[in-house]
Amino acid sequence: MRRIAALLAAVLLASCGAAPANQAEAPPPARTAPSGLDLVTLTVTGHGRSHAFTVEMARTASQQEQGLMNRHALAPDAGMLFPFDPPRPASFWMRNTLIPLDMIFIRPDGSIARIAANTVPMSETPVAVTEPMTAVLEIGGGRAAQLGISEGDRVSWND
């Protein structure tokens, strides 16, 4: 009887243990926007506060050319990130963009160089910076001011 109890205890303990070391944890599923672009979490930090956005990654030239054109709305904590590798001067316009946007120009060190607030929908006037940028973040027009985001704040994301 003791043997059966000991065997039963061993079986119960084995079934409650961790998975064998050779079974790696599956990576989290990729998050994809309805546009087909990858979604990443981006954080803006400065002046003792931090705010997270979920942004679409416009990585390719064609994705960057399309940007947020023809969108009728953008959620308050959503946006699009245009990464550049290598960093370069950046120039954007609002052709076929139906909603106002804040364009946030990000230096290679992650600091914000410029915020072009409430850019004018459908405008073909360039919004640019001449120093090399590592990325440009577009969020809803006026959102940067609402959140207290300013030049010099830091932007980070995992990609």
Q: Please give the pLDDT value at position 91.
A: 97
Specify if 79 maps to a domain: yes
| CB contact at 8 A, 102 and 155 | no
**Does residue 150 lie within any of the structural domains?**
yes
Task: Name the percent of the chain lying above pLDDT 70.
Answer: 81
Report the CATH number at residue 108: 2.60.120.1140
Q: Give the total number of structural domains in the chain.
A: 1
Does a structural domain hold residue 22?
no
The answer to the question of residue 77 being in a domain is yes
Q: Is the pLDDT of residue 20 over 50?
A: no
**pLDDT tens readout for residues 21-31:** 445 565 555 69
Task: Please report whether residue 75 resides in a domain.
Answer: yes
Find the domain containing 43 and state its range: 31-157
Q: Mind listing the pLDDT tens digit for each residue in 76-93? A: 999 999 999 999 999 999
Say which DSSP state 157 is in.
E
76-88 in b/e form (b: 16+ CB < 10 A) is ebbbbbbbbeeee
102 occurs within a structural domain: yes
Residue 63 belongs to some domain of the structure: yes
Q: Which of 14-23, 36-45, 91-100, 140-149 has the lowest mean pLDDT?
A: 14-23
Instruction: Please report whether residue 153 resides in a domain.
Output: yes
Residue-wise pLDDT for 109-150, tens only, equals 999 999 999 999 999 999 999 999 999 999 999 999 999 999
Residue 120's nearest CA partner among 151, 92, 79, 158 is: 92
What percentage of the chain carries pLDDT values higher than 90?
79
